[in-house]
Amino acid sequence: MKLFLDSSVLLAASGSRRGASREVIRLADECKWLLLATPYVVSEVLANLANLAETARTDWAALMPNLTLMDDVLTLDRAAVFEPAKDRPILFSALGRCVINARSD
């Protein structure tokens, strides 16, 4: 199964060793989950790590290799019916990857 992780999940996993976000990453190999993210997501994580405890940077460095980076999806082949937002690249990337994977599976 492919799981798209956004910056809030990755920041939570970096900021706490006991939460569900960290558990998803910990269980990924055992459960055969492919953890996906994009450069946009990674840039958001890097921009916000300073807001977390000092250990978050070290934990992020250990978590990052578990991710498979895919290209950002900035446009879709259908109309977007919500207001422009900073999260649009994340939503489009997750949706675009799901649609692409559903067609190829």
Q: What is the pLDDT of residue 103?
A: 45
Q: How many residues does the chain have?
A: 105
Which amino acid is it at 60? W
- What pLDDT is stored for residue 102 in this prediction? 46
Domain span at residue 45 reads: 2-104
What is the count of structural domains for the chain?
1
pLDDT tens over the chain, length 105 residues: 888 899 999 999 999 999 999 999 999 999 999 999 989 899 999 999 999 999 999 999 999 999 999 877 655 566 666 665 666 666 666 666 655 444 444
Residue 65 sits in a domain whose CATH number is: 3.40.50
CA angle 8, 11, 13 (to 5 degrees): 110
pTM of the model: 0.77
